[in-house]
Structures are given as C-alpha cells and as structure tokens.
Amino acid sequence: LVQARRRRRGGHWCLCLVTDVKGRPCEDFCVLQHSNRRHNTYICFCRICVITLAEAHPLLQSGKTIKNINYQISANCSRLQNKVSGKSKRGAQFLTELAPLCRISSSDGEEYTIYSCIRGRLIEVNENILSNPALLQEKPSTEGYIAVVLPKFEESKSVTQGLLTQKEYEEVLLKRLNSSS
C-alpha cells in the first residue's frame, strides 16, 4: 500500500488510522500522510494527507454495494463547491477532525458519514468515485480515496497525535475479532 505510493510519487507515505469515529463501531478511516523528509514509523512531519476508508470499514466488507456518494453536507455546504487557488490554497474549506466529507449509502439502506479525521484545508475531493463508486471498494487506498487535506504548517508535526500506527490498528482488529468470538 504505502510502498506502491512511494514508487509512483516519490517521498514517503506514513499510514495512520482512526478507529470507531464518533463512537460508531468499525467505522475506521485511514490517513495517508506524505512527507519528503526522512521516514520514521513514529514521527512523520507531513504536509499533505489523503483520507481513505480503512480495511475494516463496513463499506469494504463483502456483500456491501455502494448505492450513492453525496458530498452535499448541508443545505449551505457542498464539498464539491470547494474552490482552491494559489500557493496559499485560498478558498479552501477549513475542516476540523469531525467535519463530514461525504455521506455514502449502501444498497442495504445503511448510510455512512465519512469524516476528515484531521484539521486542515480541503484541497480536493475525489469526484471520480461519484461516477464509479466501485473504486471505493476495489482500490480504497489509491484511486478510491475520499479527499485530500492540507494541515496547517504549524500543526503538521502534531497531526498524527492520537492516530494509530498499522501495528496498533492490527491489535485493535485482533481485539474486535476475539471479543466477537
């Protein structure tokens, strides 16, 4: 996953995960953070972050089919209306950790809200998943990403605080498996 991204774009990608967002079981998200600096598993000074679904998210489980993806958050807020320009990314919508990015409906009637998970400016949303929702399930960590977020420079060192490493996430998944048995 991370190695494939390194080969294509250069630099380093740090993988961090967020579990049970807003107390919803298994609604996990992945934050892929890019850094041109030396990679360290525990500290990654990043600038750009890609938000994706984590492997245990209900939408990635077998039997789920994505029916609809909606970037319209409220009557006055659409992530599709995000217009970014210039070096300082003027016009970008500012997001908090719990800012909704989109809502995804599955064919079984369930609706999932996808959250930013980090503070920063919304650089882009993936419009390709609107016309091809299967990308979310087939290639969740590459072409099926949800959005790109740019943390404030002064917060870029602390953006990973509270997020899990891949190893810590695997431990959470193991605990879930053991508790359901």
Handedness of CA 13, 14, 15, 17 (dihedral sign): negative
Closest CA to 107 of 68, 60, 149: 68
Closest CA to 122 of 96, 99, 148: 148
Label residue 8 by pLDDT band (50, 70, 90): very low
Looking at every residue in the chain, the average pLDDT score rounds to 86
Fold assignment, 2-180: OB fold (Dihydrolipoamide Acetyltransferase, E2P) (2.40.50)
- Evaluate if residue 31 carries a pLDDT over 80: yes
Residue 1 above 90 pLDDT? no
pLDDT digits (tens, 9 = 90+) for 106-156: 999 999 999 999 999 999 999 999 999 999 999 999 999 999 999 987 676
- The rounded distance, in Å, linking the Cα atoms of 16 and 29 is 9
Separation CA 113–CA 29 (nearest Å): 11
pLDDT band at 7 (very low <50, low <70, confident <90, very high): very low
- At 167 the pLDDT is 95
pLDDT of residue 98: 94
Q: Provide the whole-model pTM.
A: 0.84
What pLDDT does 47 receive?
A: 77
Please determine, for residue 39, whether its predicted confidence score (pLDDT) is greater than 50.
no
pLDDT tens-place string over residues 45-82: 557 899 999 999 999 998 899 999 999 999 899 898 88
